[in-house]
């Protein structure tokens, strides 16, 4: 899909352009050309119109900085990794390429992420946000930062809920195995969200630094704006690092609770084995040496005496365990 946006008095407006020979060309006043899962014809039209080479999907996946941030024929190529599908149970990372060619911004992406949608809606009502290509780029960066900030806030709130369930003194008692499993899944999901956000922040930070150093003719106001966005990225990166440490701490605490529960189960079997050990010894002695033991008065006196002795030995063992505080 080829989306072309031009600035108007009411805001950013979408116009159409054809990919065929008889189709309308890309307007000269266009400041943003957005390629969303482009076809070969759309890529060729943009390349021929602005004298650039749109990176392929495979080239966008390369992680070397030299292949992500570079200048070619006066155009700046900037590829960044952004988190996507953050409202689902399967967040992913996707690559987006920004190309500054003169006073035009060309974006190439293969997933319609929420920051793009939000910025298009916002810029359509605010003309000051789309006066030129650099302004559009700054607006898109701010949209990505706000999206990541919202996700980190959500992760922090979720981790606080897990923490209260683990360490609450006036809770509903010891969590069950199902509760602990749900906690681990919740912690793992939040850790994945946090890692995706942190990866995006690192990539966006590199892009912002490259923009401030390489964009020619950038005004002092725009430079200050990008510098402010960079500070936001730095502060969010620190917060993401804190959340990562909290994820590790809560995971270890949950695993500790699982170990405690397993130890309690083993403790029950150990106590049961020790309680039945004296009766087993008495039963073995009586069973193997019954004909050698003296008879007590009464037909079943020996039997009831041995049973009573076994019960008494269990009682003594239980009393000893309680006195020592082992139960």
Residues 6+ apart with CB under 8 A from 145: 204, 229, 232, 233, 236
Residue 327 predicted with pLDDT over 80? no
Weakest-pLDDT range from 122-131, 140-149, 166-175 = 166-175
* DSSP at 31: -
pLDDT value at residue 140: 92
Condensed to tens digits (0 to 9), the pLDDT of residues 151-163 reads 999 999 999 988 8
- For residue 27, name the pLDDT band (cuts at 50, 70, 90): confident
CA distance 109 to 96: 5
Sheet-wide strand order for 92-101: 11-15, 2-8, 32-36, 104-109, 92-101, 75-84, 69-72
Q: What confidence tier does 166 reach under pLDDT thresholds 50, 70, 90?
A: confident
pTM of the model: 0.78
**Number of separate helices (H) and strands (E) present in the chain:** 8, 7
pLDDT(20) > 60: no
Q: Is the pLDDT reported for residue 180 higher than 80?
A: yes
Residues 6 or more apart from 305 whose CB is under 8 A from it?
296
pLDDT over 90 percentage in the chain: 28
53: three-class secondary structure by DSSP: coil
- Among 135, 138, 158, 134, which residue's Cα sits nearest to residue 146? 138
Identify the residue with better confidence: 287 or 45: 45
- Higher-pLDDT residue of 142 and 263 is 142
Q: Reply yes or no on whether the pLDDT at 19 is more than 80.
A: no
pLDDT at 300 over 80: no
Cα–Cα nearest to 148, from 84, 55, 62: 84
């Amino acid at each position: 899909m080829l989306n072309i946006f031009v600035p108007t008095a009411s805001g950013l407006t979408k116009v159409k352009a054809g990919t065929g020979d008889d189709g309308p060309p890309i307007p000269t006043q266009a400041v943003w050309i957005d390629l969303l899962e482009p076809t070969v014809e759309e890529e060729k039209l943009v390349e021929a119109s602005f004298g650039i080479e749109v990176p392929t999907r495979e080239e966008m996946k390369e992680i070397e900085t030299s292949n992500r941030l570079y200048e070619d024929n006066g155009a700046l190529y900037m590829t960044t990794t952004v988190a996507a599908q953050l409202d689902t149970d399967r967040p992913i990372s996707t690559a987006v390429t920004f190309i500054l060619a003169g006073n035009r911004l060309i974006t190439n992406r293969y997933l319609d992420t929420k920051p793009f949608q939000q910025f298009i809606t916002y810029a359509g009502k605010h003309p000051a946000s789309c006066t030129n290509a650099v302004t559009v780029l700054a607006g898109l960066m701010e949209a990505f930062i706000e999206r990541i900030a919202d996700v980190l806030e959500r992760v922090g709130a979720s981790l606080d809920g897990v923490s209260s369930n683990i360490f609450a003194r006036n809770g509903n008692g010891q969590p069950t195995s199902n509760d602990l499993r749900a906690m681990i899944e919740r912690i793992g999901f939040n850790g994945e969200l946090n890692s995706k956000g942190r990866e995006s922040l690192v990539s966006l930070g590199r892009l912002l630094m490259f923009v401030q150093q390489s964009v020619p003719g950038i005004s002092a106001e725009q430079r200050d704006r990008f510098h402010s966005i960079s500070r936001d990225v730095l502060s969010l990166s620190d917060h993401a690092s804190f959340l990562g440490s909290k994820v590790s701490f809560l995971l270890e605490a949950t695993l500790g609770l699982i170990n405690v529960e397993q130890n309690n189960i083993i403790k029950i079997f150990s106590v049961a084995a020790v309680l039945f050990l004296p009766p087993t010894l008495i039963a073995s002695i009586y069973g193997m040496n019954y004909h050698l033991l003296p008879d007590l008065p009464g037909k079943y006196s020996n039997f009831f005496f041995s049973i009573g002795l076994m019960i008494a030995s269990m009682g003594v063992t239980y009393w000893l365990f309680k006195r020592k505080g082992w139960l």
